């Protein structure tokens, strides 16, 4: 699973790795993989519980949610 922390939108969204809304490659200059950058970051997690814990630790002011597109499949 991948957690997308998005600072501008103030959200933390948990995705399945196969989700079509997850960009490839996962990390970018401003949203790196495994740490926070200017616009946020991507974090690899193994469960919803771990995703919530990482979101709380890394970006407390963000709203946690699960990707609605991943939920459908």
Domain ranges of the chain: 2-72
Q: Is the pLDDT of residue 38 over 90?
A: yes
pLDDT mean across residues, the chain: 92
Token pair 């949203």 in the structure block, residue? 31
Tell whether omega for the bond before 25 is within 30 degrees of 0, i.e. cis. Answer: yes
Q: What is the pTM of this model?
A: 0.90
Q: Give the CA diameter of the chain.
A: 32
Name the pLDDT band for 51 (thresholds 50, 70, 90).
very high
pLDDT of the residue at 73: 52
């Amino acid at each position: 699973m991948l957690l997308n922390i998005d600072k501008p939108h103030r959200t933390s969204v948990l995705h399945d790795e196969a989700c079509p809304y997850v960009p490839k490659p996962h990390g970018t200059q401003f949203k790196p993989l495994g740490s926070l950058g200017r616009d946020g970051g991507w974090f690899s997690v193994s469960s919803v519980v771990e995703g919530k814990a990482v979101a709380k630790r890394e970006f407390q002011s963000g709203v946690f949610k699960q990707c609605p597109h991943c939920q459908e499949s």
